[in-house]
Amino acid sequence: MQKWRHACLLKKRLTNSVNWKSDKGITLVELLASLAILSVVILLAGSVHLFGQRQFISQTESASQANNMSYALSVMSRDLRKEEGETVTVSDGGTKITTGTGLIFAYNGSEILKNGSTLIDSVSSMTVKKNSEDSIEIKIESQSPQSQTRTYKTTIYFRR
């Protein structure tokens, strides 16, 4: 009985090892399929990453632009409110503001200058309109290749 059992187990081991050896490795078709799937996943991940970078750059530029325009308008408002309305004059077709104390705000090309030094840049236009002796309206349009053109405006009322 022992011999028969030994022979049966030996035959079972041989058949298992033969089947095991035939399943060893992967075929060329399986390798190509897995490479194709992996390349699609990498392509999608790369495109998502590039889209995120473009969005980050655009939003950073837009936020910087908004900060610069807001800063320029606040400086102009603060300085012009100290003046009396009668001493403030608008010239050069609405691109230059001159005060009685010698303060000058001017649009020059793509910059807004305060007494000859650059206050902000990347400006596409500045228009100033004096409504009456007690108010002045300033409108600034931004220019940037990374973000949309935006318009910022304020109305400054002078003290009497």
Containing structural domain, residue 42: 28-157
Residue 44 counted as domain residue = yes
Q: Are 88 and 97 within 8 A, CB to CB? A: yes
* Residue 142 contacts residue 149 (beta carbons within 8 Å): yes
pLDDT at 37: 97
pLDDT digit of tens for each residue in the chain (160 aa)? 566 666 666 666 655 555 555 567 889 999 999 999 999 999 999 999 999 999 999 888 888 888 989 999 999 999 998 888 888 889 888 889 999 899 999 998 889 999 999 999 888 889 999 887 788 999 998 877 666 788 898 999 887 6
Count of structural domains within the chain: 1
DSSP state of 132: E
Is there a domain that residue 22 lies in? Answer: no
This prediction has a pTM of 0.68
In a domain, 7, yes or no: no
Q: Is 124 contained in some domain? A: yes
Beta bridge partners of 98: 89, 104
